[in-house]
Amino acid sequence: MADMNNPSFVRMIRTLFVVTATGIGFGIVMAAVSSGFVRGVEFAGNFRTDAGFFTFEIAGWTLQPVALVSLFVAAGLVLLVRRVFRIGRWHGPADSIHAAHRTDNELDVKSGFGSTLAAFISASGGASVGQYGPLVHFGATMGSFIRHKTGGILSTDIFIGCGVAGAIAAGFNAPIAGVIFAHEAILRHFSLRAIAPIAIASITAVWVRSHVFEAAPLFTIDSSSADVTTLLPAALIAGPFFGLLAVLFMVTIRYSTALAKATKWSQTTLILVAAMAMGTLATIIPETLGLGTATMQQMMNGEFPTGYLVLVLIGKLLATAICLGFGFFGGVFSPALFVGLTAGALGGRLLGWLGLMAAGPGVAICGMAAVASAVIGAPIAGVLIILEMTLSYEFALAAMLSVVVSTLVSNLIFGHSFFDRQLLDRGIDVTLGRGHIEMMESPVSKIVSDDYVAIAPTASVEEAIKQLADSAATEGYVVFGDGRFAGKVSLHQLIGKTASISIKRYADKEALSIKHDSSLQQAIEVASDFVGESIPIINRDTEEFLGVVTEADLFQLYLSLQNRISDLERA
């Protein structure tokens, strides 16, 4: 029988309680937030649809000016959120990934929550944005906030993983996919310490969503029509095209963002232009509005003619690029699902015309999974989402074939994911691993030492040699009275020189040095060919001498950093 007073037993019970409570807590919160987000957007969408007095027809086209009005209202509210929360840029999954790859794991809580609110307003107003990215970052932000308030009970990457898993699991009613997505797309490592709370959060989110909020499944898919013999060849053939479409989707958004910056317009002007463009487009193609969940169900059921599907596909690509590039905020996952499903529906019909019959919505499902997986960089999670949504091994198998081919094409042309490219634009390459990121973000100023021999420029060679000998040092630094660096001298260099000559004559002003704002990575690169006792740290703008670092200091900091990361990823 276990000793109730044994410290190990008490620690085990405490850990089990914390892990379980954390998972359940995050699951409940994310189920509530996810359901509230979707229902709020649906309510706004239904209001626009029911506003019949704002709808009329011209030459067979159904025009909805109410969408234009709602988008302008949303634009005003988004600007208000930006001002109230003082948000310089919107925060999303890319920031969550970056936080999960740092040992401090800090996220800007105010910007994170404000960005989620802006995404809700944007989607409710009809902007072509997604829900999952903002919900993922909301979960990550909440995790960072709770970690900050509770101290070191669990590491922040676990809290971030719980929030992310809960968001995806609740959104797709897919608990296994939620767990895999958190590890595959955000944390990018598996550990025994993290898997338990993240799994509990994911399962809890699905249970609460289904039983408390009675949320309906995202899609209703008839899996009885799946025929592997015809679906697998179609999935393989369509895979490269889905990859190219994913690249086009991401490049279009990036081009729109670059175009918006190039105009040098104010944030107000940009978002009003986006509202006008989106509203005008929506009067012609209302299916491009908002999340588009109902439209996706209709396309899966084959309710649109082929020509109109082409129009919807082009319209959704343009709408998403305009909204995300010119000031609205939201995720890219939902629009990627929409674009992939539309392309898959078109591809299925084209393959049918060519004589390769793909029964039912199979190719459409493959397109949805393939494009979205390539965009977010989570192929395994994408396949599992299909498996858990359809409960069909045949659909999941076909989706996996399209996903792996699509992801390969996208990776070769564009990169790992849309989020990774966003981080690369900020000079952060997460593919190099936590160690590299930590080294780039660890300032060398943390290990600057004042253990050096400072020599006045007016000192003679004899005086300098005596100072070095008394300090048992072979190197010294010539420093002006105001702290400016005048050069470096070495004992062997001074021996044999005229004793009465000023030391300043022999000071090496071009000695190897490190900038005061350098990172650990940059400092190690500088020191890679260094031979000597220490390296000076200098503010090169003012020539101020701040201190020295030794190779031992650099390697000690590096090893301690690597040990922390190894403990995190192996635990």
261 located within any domain: yes
Identify whether residues 367 and 473 lie together within a single domain. Answer: no
CA distance 139 to 167: 7
Residue 296 is predicted with a pLDDT of 87
Per-residue pLDDT of 45-94, as tens digits, reads 777 776 655 566 665 655 567 778 889 999 999 999 999 998 988 998 88
The yes-or-no verdict on residue 1 having pLDDT over 50 is: no
Return the minimum-mean-pLDDT range out of 330-339, 388-397, 439-448, 463-472. Answer: 439-448
CA distance 269 to 271: 6
CA distance 64 to 301: 24
C-alpha 380 chain-centroid distance? 17
**Mean pLDDT to the nearest integer, 536-555:** 84
Identify whether residues 473 and 528 lie together within a single domain. Answer: yes
Identify whether residues 43 and 168 lie together within a single domain. Answer: yes
Residue 384 is predicted with a pLDDT of 92
Domain boundary among 432, 466, 494: 432
Domain count, the chain: 2
Higher pLDDT, 306 or 525: 306
The order of strands in the sheet holding 535-539 is 514-515, 535-539, 544-549
Per-residue pLDDT of 154-173, as tens digits, reads 677 787 888 889 888 888 88
Identify whether residues 297 and 386 lie together within a single domain. Answer: yes
1 located within any domain: no
Nearest CA-CA partner of 178 in 198, 155, 207: 198
Identify whether residues 252 and 394 lie together within a single domain. Answer: yes
For residue 112, name the pLDDT band (cuts at 50, 70, 90).
Answer: confident
570 located within any domain: no
Q: Mean pLDDT for the chain?
A: 84
Residue 54 is predicted with a pLDDT of 57
Distances (CA, A) of 421 to 98, 189, 335, 359: 12, 20, 18, 36
Higher pLDDT, 88 or 222: 88
The yes-or-no verdict on residue 514 having pLDDT over 90 is: no
SS3 call for 474? coil
CA distance 44 to 381: 30
Identify whether residues 367 and 255 lie together within a single domain. Answer: yes
For residue 555, name the pLDDT band (cuts at 50, 70, 90).
Answer: confident
- Reading the block at residue 192, the tokens are 């025994």
Beta bridge partners of 477: 454, 488
Distances (CA, A) of 173 to 204, 339, 510: 11, 21, 64
Higher pLDDT, 216 or 421: 421
- Reading the block at residue 33, the tokens are 């937030």
H/E element, 243 = helix 228-263
Identify whether residues 422 and 494 lie together within a single domain. Answer: no
**Mean pLDDT to the nearest integer, 293-299:** 85
The order of strands in the sheet holding 454-455 is 454-455, 475-479, 485-490
Identify whether residues 553 and 415 lie together within a single domain. Answer: no
296 located within any domain: yes
**Mean pLDDT to the nearest integer, 552-565:** 73
Domain boundary among 379, 403, 432: 432
DSSP 8-state code for residue 215: P
Q: Which of 37-46, 216-225, 521-530 has maximum average pLDDT?
A: 37-46
358 located within any domain: yes
SS3 call for 514? strand
371 located within any domain: yes
Identify whether residues 136 and 119 lie together within a single domain. Answer: yes
Residue 379 is predicted with a pLDDT of 93
- Reading the block at residue 145, the tokens are 């906030």
Specify whether the CB–CB gap between 329 and 90 falls below 8 A. Answer: yes
Q: Which amino acid is at 72?
A: F
Residue 151 is predicted with a pLDDT of 63
Other beta carbons within 10 angstroms of residue 284's beta carbon come to 14
For residue 147, name the pLDDT band (cuts at 50, 70, 90).
Answer: confident
The yes-or-no verdict on residue 474 having pLDDT over 70 is: yes
Q: What is the CATH number of the domain that holds 160?
A: 1.10.3080.10
Question: Where do the DSSP E strands lie in 27-121?
Answer: 56-58, 61-63
Q: What is the CATH number of the domain that holds 544?
A: 3.10.580.10
Per-residue pLDDT of 228-255, as tens digits, reads 777 888 888 899 999 999 999 999 999 9
375 located within any domain: yes
Total residue length of the chain = 571
**Mean pLDDT to the nearest integer, 485-504:** 82
Residue 276 is predicted with a pLDDT of 92
CA distance 389 to 391: 6
Identify whether residues 443 and 420 lie together within a single domain. Answer: no
319 located within any domain: yes
Per-residue pLDDT of 436-471, as tens digits, reads 677 777 778 778 888 888 888 888 888 888 888 888
Residue with tokens 């459409």: 364
Identify whether residues 358 and 462 lie together within a single domain. Answer: no
Higher pLDDT, 13 or 424: 424
Q: Phi-psi region for residue 105, left (φ > 0), alpha (ψ -120 to 50) or beta?
A: left
Print the domain residue range for 40: 7-432
- Reading the block at residue 231, the tokens are 């679906």
